[in-house]
Amino acid sequence: MKKLLYPLKFQPILKDKIWGGEKLNQYFNKASDSKELGESWEISTVPEDVSIVSNGDLKGETLQKLLEDYKSELLGDKNWKRFGNQFPLLIKFIDAKEDLSIQLHPNDELAKERHNSFGKTEMWYVMQADKDANLIVGFNQQIDKETYLKHLEHKSLTEILNFDKVKEGDTYFIESGRVHAIGAGVLLAEIQQTSDVTYRVYDWDRVDTNGNERELHNDIAIDAFDFNMKNDFRVDYSTQINASNKMVSCPYFTTNFIELDSELKKQNTHDSFIIYMCVDGDVEISTTISTDIISKGETLLIPAQIKDYSLKTKYGKLLEVYV
């Protein structure tokens, strides 16, 4: 007999990176002594990095096993028909102590053909940024393939990239095919399609402790660019208190911003699981089954079959995500 589904927490999957730092531990209490902790994967079914439940009767089970056992009860009917045993989203917190590589991601068609993977459309919500920290998103002028390759060859790529200074709350939508990089000093929440396919095109000429440069992917990356994109990547959104404010809605995910100072009763009408990422404060999430508290830097997944619940706090900010 299957156990009853309830709101799920997962063990963070911690990833050291050459550009990582210590903020994920300092700010969010992610258990690591590393000085190069770059990512905390909160919810994942990427092979070799599958999330494990950390609360309740299903503690110790993998998200992959839950998908196989509960199907549409967890994902929702339409998502189960669309994705089957594959969880469609990868949820992360990222700390960039140093600049990430200049990179982009393939779309669904190219990723399927080359890597048997989803493409990678994603979004960023800045949780903290040091003074003058920036994100690189898109180009600062209209660029075609020939111009791009010329700058790549002459190591002048940074001359045509768009640098944006950022602060807490700034939000960006990064479609597949758009060049981008997280800059040094930025701590953010990332919501993306389930994919770990990244094409690096420039890595600041840095080397690891053994003197080796990281692999670049310029031979295959050129086909992944969409040079016709408009610079419409900055996300404007309302900040009405105690309400779900639409941030991003695309075929891969919808994300809302919620700032709370009291109780908000919710009803899931989306035929989807709902994920809450706490980006500030603490929020109590109550269903008829259980009550959980998530604090800044924590994540909770509410299965699709749970329709009624409440969010309660004196102060908290959430990202609400569903498909």
List, by residue number, the catalytic residues.
200
Other CB atoms within 10 A of residue 244 CB: 17
CA distance linking residue 131 with residue 166, whole number of Å: 9
Question: Beta-carbon neighbour count of residue 141 at 10 Å?
Answer: 11
Question: Is the Cβ–Cβ distance between 250 and 173 less than 8 Å?
Answer: yes
Order of strands, sheet of 180-182, starting from the edge strand that comes earlier in the sequence: 161-165, 134-139, 180-182, 102-104, 199-202
The answer to whether the Cα torsion of 310, 86, 121, 105 is positive or negative is positive
CB contact at 8 A, 89 and 10: no
Three-state secondary structure call for residue 301: strand
